[in-house]
Structure 1
């Protein structure tokens, strides 16, 4: 594919102006309009945006490189006046990238509102002109989803169990160590989705996850692919899952069993090693914990490891987007060895993942940013919503248990869409 940045008629000069504002206790998601909303929120902090000043769509194996080159070109010609000067202020783009070589997008909004603790700001972005910051107000309540009817997507539950069996056979035959298989579920609504409604529900129900919406993809991911901030880099790796029961005492016992599970620890080790190996060339130092911790979410518990590092200042391709490209797909969403796992996914999965399990997040003009993995997510178009879930398969995986795990992972979006 030709570098998408070279297809533009000429460099544009974007002007971004950031000023501090007072938001009080107004939730960021309550500022979003129905159309053109972009969101990245965790525990009340983050950035939301609307409007579109610039955009690039990329496809193919060079989709990350094309988008990164375009962003460097845009930031190189931009005028930024930023009195706040924190990651996420100034010139910002939101992005959503496909798992495979299909359509991906990087979007520069017109208005961005951000919050970090007690600090809040608004950024306006336009072509070659300063724009007065808008008056921020709580928008009208979103229209709740109505009449959701759920049905099998590309394959039935029984059919997916059969695919899991085929995968475990390939692993036991020595073809690979791990593969992540995904399935989809379809929801048909009575009227077109107002995406702000599930965003409100997800942000409230899963405050420790990153609630997002970019270009028709929304969700609440528990997994941070990579955060780059002031030269520091972090990746949260999740692999190994057990469903919660709602009984606190029982769940504590389940968490202990998860932490001792050889099957889950093996799956987790593959994912952590793939992330550490991908980050190492861009970092001057790294910290990889020896053992995972158990991350408790309302619906499931995961084995989790936070891999941290210091970005090598001499490394040319070390923006948050560059690092996300280097990491994708990690063993947490692809498998080990990567190439063999991706080939098996192509052979076994009867669907196109679209942007499910691809990087989603944002980047600023300094190269800082946050990119999560688009898990606990769905794509929508009008009244139809396509939900996704995936599970890591290793030699000891049980197809029935993996189906149950995938159903647990569908719960956040199912609940967000239900009456």
Structure 2
């Protein structure tokens, strides 16, 4: 079955009929995150624009090898049956879903349509209300909230200690040297333990403030600020930002400029980056009339690290939605490896932990199929059974020239955003 094919009768959860209205609101100065209630908040914010939502008007939980196709079929049915009055008319107004997909076929994935969405784009703020077909909910009076600080957080090893994880990296390098594969991305986790239940709005606000150029997200307890845009589709233009190759910042501007120059010349990092760009370009090519694939990457400067980055762009050649494009791209070499199937098997064999939705697609989509899906990086998953705990995640791309201790240091740098966001 292709990504655009409908499901066979009876193979998907029936989609409800919804009534949707988007209306402009004036005089709203508060940041989008400030409107989130204590529980059940959804968020997608970059540079102050984006969406936040709450409540559940419709939801699809899905897993398995057909999960992307099932999600697309459900969304297609939902949008076809919805009654929409959209007074804004921009990507992200009207009927919108938030979503998060697991790294593997067996990991849980979901699409969520909130009851209320507050959106902002280009200086315009709007409220979307979504309800069942029998009624049209009145737009709520927007309220701002102040989250509780998390408190003094302790951190503990997750599935493996740093030393044990370095040993896994050494194993992977040996496999690459022996010719089993070219690259594999290995992840590790860290457990954050708070003395109080963690109010997710606290780290979300801090992430959005500290990393404005990243996409700060919250979907079903998975929160983070990711720098990597898997794919955006907007009015026929497809874009993807590929990151691979990382170096930690020191805080000394002159030294960091020298480090950026060394990163741009690093054969190990350039090799890792080339694999990632090639996998994205190959996956998008069938969906594009024309493409622009940069020959050389630029250095993306973030507060904690610097990455080699390339922006791949294309003109859409078919009706593939943003989610359909994300499905075609996942898993890319940037979060899995090369060749993909071999790397995925190696990850399953030696990584030693379930990733869940870490490194899977996370994002949003509207009724036109436009939207943004990023890779869930620099993130943490709230423990559904213990509100005082979260799993934090980081990974590193391993190639023949990788040094285990350097890769461990890279993961420590990538854990900094979530560690700092949870602190006082």
Fold in common (TM above 0.5): yes
Unpaired stretches in structure 1, ≥5 consecutive residues: none
2:36 to 32, 35, 51: 32
Structure 1 residues 144-186: Cα deviation after superposition (integer angstroms, max 9, x where no partner): 1123110100001010000000000011111111000000000
> Which whole-Å CA distance do the structure 2 matches of 1:58 and 1:76 have between them?
20
| 8 Å contact from structure 1 (residues 5, 67) kept in 2 | no
Match for residue 349 of structure 1?
351
Counterpart pick for 1:220 among 204, 209, 225:
225
**What are the superposed Cα offsets for residues 231-258 of structure 1, whole Å, 9 maximum, x if unpaired?**
1110000000000000000000000110
Q: Which residue of 1 is the match for residue 57 of structure 2?
A: 53
* Residues 1:263 and 1:9: Cα distance change in structure 2 (over 3 Å): closer
Q: Pick the aligned partner of 2:47 from 43, 48, 57.
A: 43
Alignment of 1:317-356 (within 5 A): 318-356=320-358
CA apart distance, 1:5:
8.6
**Any conservation in 2 of the 1:4–1:66 contact (CA below 8 Å)?**
no
Report if the CA contact (8 A) 1:5-1:70 is conserved.
Answer: no
**Considering only aligned residues, what root-mean-square deviation do their CA atoms show, in Å?**
1.5
Q: Which residue of 1 aligns with 2:76?
A: 72
Distance 1:152 1:13 in 2: 46
Question: Is 1:138 equivalent to 2:140 in the alignment?
Answer: no
Displaced runs of 4 or more, over 3 A: 2-11
- Partner of residue 204 from structure 2, selected from 199, 202, 205: 199
Residue by residue over 1:66-87, the C-alpha shift from the partner in whole angstroms, topping out at 9 and shown as x without a partner, is: 1111000100111111010100
Alignment partner of 1:112 is 2:117? yes
Aligned counterpart for 1:19 among listed residues 20, 23, 28: 23
In the TM superposition, what whole-angstrom CA distance separates every residue of 1:252-280 from its partner, at most 9, and x where no partner exists? 00001101111100000000000000001
Matched, 1:122 2:127: yes
Q: Distance in 1 between matches of 2:423 and 2:170?
A: 32
Q: Using the alignment, how far apart are the partners of 1:5 and 1:244 within structure 2?
A: 53
Q: Contact between 1:18 and 1:121, CA under 8 Å: does it hold in 2?
A: yes
Contact 1:286 1:310 in 2 (8 A): yes
Aligned equivalent of 1:274:
279
The secondary structure found in structure 1 opposite 2:400 is coil
1:24 CA drift (Å): 3.9
- Residue pair 1:284, 1:311 contacting (<8 A) in 2 also: yes
1:251 aligns with 2:251: no
- The size of the alignment, in residue pairs, is 415
Q: Which residue of 2 aligns with 1:100?
A: 104
Aligned runs of 1:229-268 on 2, under 5 Å? 229-268=234-273
1:10 to 1:297, Cα distance in 2 relative to 1, 3 A: closer
- For residues 153 and 10 of structure 2, the distance between their equivalents in structure 1, rounded to whole angstroms, comes to 44
Corresponding residue for residue 211 of structure 1: 216
- Post-superposition offset of 1:387: 0.3
Shift of 1:4: 10
Inter-partner Cα distance in structure 2 for 1:277 and 1:412: 31
Aligned residue for 1:207, secondary structure, equals coil
- Deviations, residues 88-116 of structure 1 (Å, cap 9, x unaligned): 00000000100012110100000011111
* CA distance in 2: counterparts of 1:287 and 1:225, whole angstroms: 16
1:153–1:132: structure 2 CA closer, same or farther, 3 Å change rule?
A: same
Note if contact 1:42-1:210 (Cα within 8 Å) is conserved in structure 2.
Answer: yes
**TM-score using structure 2 length:** 0.96
- What runs of 5+ residues in structure 2 fail to find an aligned partner? 1-5
2:153 matched to 1:148?
yes
Show the counterpart of 1:385: 390
2:407 counterpart of 1:405: no
> What secondary structure sits across from 1:125 in the alignment?
strand
Shift of 1:23: 4.5
Give the one of 356, 363, 366 matched to 2:365.
363
Residue pair 2:15, 2:74 contacting (<8 A) in 1 also: no
